Structure 1
Amino acid sequence: MIRVTRLKSQDRDFILNAELIETIEATPDTVITLTNGKKLIVEETPQEIVRNVMEYRRAIFRNLR
């Protein structure tokens, strides 16, 4: 799970299941497309999201050892 910030929304921060991310695009806003087709527009850059997903997955595998 990663924390992301919705662009221009009242409920800004939310936790996203990183396993549901299908694509990340910069258009110039960052658009995350989930495996169910839902699109989310967030403040983080694609690079930040990728870094957060990698940290999340490393933490999972670290705990499996």
Structure 2
Amino acid sequence: MISLTRLNGEPFTLNAILIEQVQEFPDTTITLTNGKKLVVKNSHAEVLQLVMAYYQQIGIQRAQREVKKDDE
């Protein structure tokens, strides 16, 4: 889970596994796997950093690296 802030200043927590896409329009817009879009105050770079840290925490990013090493 990652902590983000809505445009109105309200903090919320999002399951990062549900994120399909992050874009800046110029506001940061997160598209979820179910098609729902969320607009947040956080920058694109900050959202990516939070997602990568979450993936590392739960072991997803590590598993991807191990698979890539095995493929080489």
TM interval, shorter chain, is 0.7 to 0.9
- In terms of fraction of residues, the more helix-rich structure is 2
From the CA coordinates, give the structure whose radius of gyration is larger. Answer: 2
Can you give the 5+ residue segments of structure 2 that lack an aligned partner in the other structure?
60-72
Can you give the 5+ residue segments of structure 1 that lack an aligned partner in the other structure?
none
| Matching residue of 2:36 | 38
RMSD over aligned Cα atoms? 0.9
Q: Which amino acid aligns with 1:48?
A: E
Identity score, percent: 51
Q: How many residue pairs are counted as aligned between the two chains?
A: 59
Which structure exhibits the higher relative contact order, with contacts defined as CA atoms closer than 8 Å and separated by 6 or more residues?
1
Q: Which amino acid aligns with 1:6?
A: R
- Runs of 4 or more above 4 Å deviation: none
**TM-score under structure 1 length normalisation:** 0.85
